Amino acid sequence: MKYSFRYTTSIVLHPFKIKSAAELNYYSKKREGENSYGFAIMSEASCKLLIDRMTFVARLSLFNAEEWDNRVYFAESDPQGGAFSQPLNGYGYRTYLLSRYKLAKNIDLWIKYSRTHRFGEDKIGEGPEQTLGPSRDELKLQLKLMF
């Protein structure tokens, strides 16, 4: 059985927005008689500049969820306004920077750099998604043309 508690808050000071969240999980394996805990905290700052032509988002998440059953999800902004949710488990941090620049009326350029680091790990992921080493870096570029 899993219990979760999440607290979220946000502050808007135009053109800035600051958002924070914390989550605590408790997981009980009745058959094995084992209990485990997990937690994560996240802080995010975003800013829109030049009459919404430029948008920047920066986030840092710290997590400690030893068991896969205690993983934590924080939805992230993704290029083209999509949402993405990376499971956070183990002991480490995840950070990302996202920027959008409106090049012209119908052209947007999106760039997202993210890094997940798990302390004491020698790999992240499984199968074709596996990365050797304690860190995984990702870079996403998107050019959006609207007709």
Whether 68 shows a pLDDT value over 80: the answer reads yes
- Full residue range of the structural domain in which residue 72 is found: 2-145
**In the structure encoding, which two tokens stand for residue 45, read together?**
């700052």
Number of folded domains in the chain?
A: 1
State the average pLDDT over residues 47-55. Answer: 85
CA distance 9 to 7: 7
C-alpha Rg value of the chain to the nearest Å:
18
State the average pLDDT over residues 25-39. Answer: 82
CA distance 35 to 66: 11
Band of residue 121 on the pLDDT scale cut at 50, 70, 90:
confident
**In the structure encoding, which two tokens stand for residue 43, read together?**
């802080």
- Which residues have a Cβ under 8 Å from the Cβ of 21 and sit 6 or more positions away? 6, 7, 8, 9, 41, 42, 74
